[in-house]
Structure formats: C-alpha cells, structure tokens
Structure 1
Amino acid sequence: MQSLLMKIMISSFLLVGWSLPAWALDGDAQRGEAAAAVCSACHQADGSGQNIPDGESWPRLAGMNADYLYKQVKDFQAGTRVNASMQPFAQMLTDQQLRDVAVYYSQLPVTPAAGGETASEEDLAWGEKLATRGDWERYIVPCSSCHGPGNQGAGQHFPGIAGQHAGYLAQQLRAWQNGDRDNDPQHLMAAIAERMNERDIQAVSAWLAQQPAN
C-alpha cells in the first residue's frame, strides 16, 4: 500500500510539474562567456567540471538546462543551498550576469563524464535498476520518474543526471541523505536518498556517469 501511495504521489507531482511552462530565461551567451571566468577554475572553460576521486567533484555545466543552473546559483546566493567553495563565487554575480552565464553554459556542447570506470558489471546492473526501475520494496523511486526519460532532465527543478560525473552524483546523494542539501520541491530527494545505502549510491552514480547526455 505504501509503495502504491508513493507511486501516486510522485506521478501526481510530475504531472503538475511537467505541465508548467518552461521559464524563458533572459540571458545573453556572449556576455555570459565573459562573466563565466569566475566559474572556470572549478567548472573549466568548457564547462566540463571535474571528477576528483576521494575529493570534492564539480559538476559538468555544459549542456545543462539554463533554468536549472540559474535556480541553483540563486539558491546558493540565498543560502538555501550551501557549499563553502561555491558560496563566495555565487555572490560575485549580479542577477543579469547569472542569467547570461546560465544561458552560455546551456549552449556549450556536452562533455564526457568521468567516474565509475572500475565498477563491476554486477554493480552497474544494480545501478541501472535503481535509475530506471527503482527498488519499490524499499520505496526507492527510479531516478527517471523525476529526471525524465533517459534521465536527461525535466525543467528547472530536475537536472539531467545522465552523463554527469559519478563523483559529483555520489557527493550530492550523500548531501541529500545527511540533510546537508534540501532545496528541491517537496523534499523528494531527501526522502529517496535516506533509503539508499553506500552500495546503492556508488552503483547508480557509476551507471549514470556512463550514460549519454543530450
């Protein structure tokens, strides 16, 4: 019964969320390229980010949804999302610069993800199950329920996670799990992440990193 109720809750939320019109983010990519200089130390000039084993990884921004990028940095500025490294850089950007930077990164070609190369076939198969079908016995919703078909993203609230660095994905799942991050609609991610163990996190992060991103 709880599994059915969760399915209904997620489905209802997504039907509402996906029916909302997409933001028409007002930004200029040419201006954004200049303003993005403050981002390049961690996210690289091409927006590829960094996958650092056993360290802090930085997400790929290239090809990500502009509305999502804008919202996340606004959350950093407001303090509703916290990261000691990101906070000072987020404060350097005006609202229009942030719009320009988000549009700039969204128009860059997607770069390859890293991480998960040493994952076993068994772990990759488990990661695929969690990402595409979930584990309803533990009330773990499949990633694609919110992140869209192929986990390519669904608007400003649900980023594309296919083709994202494994280290960053695992890092964020632990942040949701530990309560260090809580800036998603309806607190869905925390409810899912708290049911995941470390094997789940490593497996799904490795599998998603090896999937193509649009």
Structure 2
Amino acid sequence: MHATSAQALVSQGNGHGAPPCQSCHGADGGGQAAAGFPRLAGLDSAYLARQLADYAAGTRANPVMQPIAQSLSADERQAVAAYYSRLPAPAPPPTAPPSEGIGQTLATRGRWSRQVPACEQCHGPGGVGVGANFPPLAGQPAAYIQAQMEAWQQGTRRNDPLQLMQHVSRKLNADEVAAVAQWFAAQPLPAGSSGQ
C-alpha cells in the first residue's frame, strides 16, 4: 500500500466501515487527552500493527477499536501502523506536574515488597518506550493509561508479553493506578523523540 493510501485511511477511512483514524487520534496523531484517545504518532510500527491485529482478532477488547480494526485489511493495518510510526510525536499538552509521590515512586523505583517493578524497567527511562513490546507512556493521556491498567486488572486486555502487565497491574490499587497514569501523562518526551 502506498503512503498516499495510508494518508487516505487516516484522513478519510476505508469506505468499508473504518472511519478516519484522525477523527479520534487527531490529524497529527497526538490523540485526544480529554477523551482518553492515545497518541499514535511516533509509536513503534510493529507495536501498532500488533495492537490493530489484536483488536481485529479480539485478543484486545475495545468496543470502539474492535469493529474498526476488523474492517481494515491486514495490509491496511500495516499501512496505518507504518504511517503513524513515521510521524513525529507532538508535544503533549501542558499539565501540572504531579507532586512527588506514589506515582513517581512506582514509575521510577517500583514497590519490590509487593513484587512491583518500576515501570521504567520495561518502558525505559522517563517512560519513553522500548521497541515493539513496551510502548511509550510519557505524554500519553492519563485517562488512557489508567483505562489500560484497569483492562489488564480485569482481564479484558491480555496481549502483553508474558502477561507482565496483568501481573503488575493486579498488584496496584485504584489510587496507585491513577497516580502512575497522572505521573506519566505529565512527563515530556525528549526533544526530537519519536517516542521509541
């Protein structure tokens, strides 16, 4: 599929049930924090393609994304993933940085007494992401991060490597999940970062 076709998918949809991606994820791929729609720009192509395939297969449940992913062909899913991976990650909207507390502690040091490793051990320093399995958390909407943690806790999201997130998320309470989500949402991406 050509780049122009990927651009058409993002801006116009495919005419077979998939609406324009930008209607939720923004023209720049930056997402919509208020609605909890994640940033896609600059994410790893293989990660994005796997998420779309998992939505299509039902491995990752979401009432909005499942039918959209199912209406995209495998080639269209790959094209969209490649398109967004090439976009620069826009700066997240300014948010008041959370005070140092449990969110920062869990993100940077973990809680080993409860077998909770630091989020940064997999997602990289500052949560900037590591390859195709550990997406960036920095600058993602807090509502999105929190919703994903809750999905792993409830077992409605199961597509993490070795069930790491299912294990970790179930050891956190609601206040801890919210604190980690808010801390990462306030973290800036490094200058020139593609989010990977």
The interval holding the TM-score normalised by the smaller chain is: 0.7 to 0.9
Cα distance per residue 1:17-68 (max 9 Å; x no partner): xxxxxxxxxx75443211113211211121111123xxx5111101111110
CA RMSD of aligned residues (A): 1.8
Match of 2:140 among 164, 181, 193: 164
Which residue pairs with 1:44 in the alignment?
26
Distance in 2 between the 1:97 and 1:45 partners?
Answer: 18
Shift of 1:177: 0.9
The residue identity in structure 2 corresponding to 1:41 is: S
1:1-214 mapped onto 2 (5 Å cutoff): 28-37=2-11, 38-52=20-34, 57-113=36-92, 117=96, 120-121=98-99, 124-213=100-189, 214=193
Counterpart CA distance in 2 for 1:183 and 1:89 is: 18
Label 1:102 to 1:68 Cα distance change in 2 as closer, same or farther (>3 A).
same
Report the 3-state secondary structure (helix = DSSP H, G, I; strand = E; otherwise coil) of the residue aligned with 1:91: helix
Instruction: Write the letter of the residue equivalent to 1:50.
Output: Q
TM-score if structure 1 supplies the norm length?
0.78
- Structure 2's unaligned 5+ residue stretches are 12-19
Query: What percent identity do the matched residue pairs reach?
Result: 43
Equivalent residues, number: 182
Runs of 4+ aligned residues of structure 1 deviating over 4 Å after TM superposition are: none
Shift in Å at residue 165 of structure 1? 0.9
Question: For the residues of structure 2 that align with 1:161 and 1:144, how far apart are their CA atoms?
Answer: 9
- TM-score, with length taken from structure 2: 0.85
Change (3 A) 1:136 1:59: same
Structure 1: which 5+ runs fail to align?
Answer: 1-26
For 1:162 and 1:203, the matched residues in 2 are separated by 13
SS at match of 2:80: helix
Change in CA separation of 1:151 and 1:98 when aligned onto 2, cut-off 3 Å: same
CA distance in 2, matches of 1:84, 1:109: 28
2:71 partner SS: coil
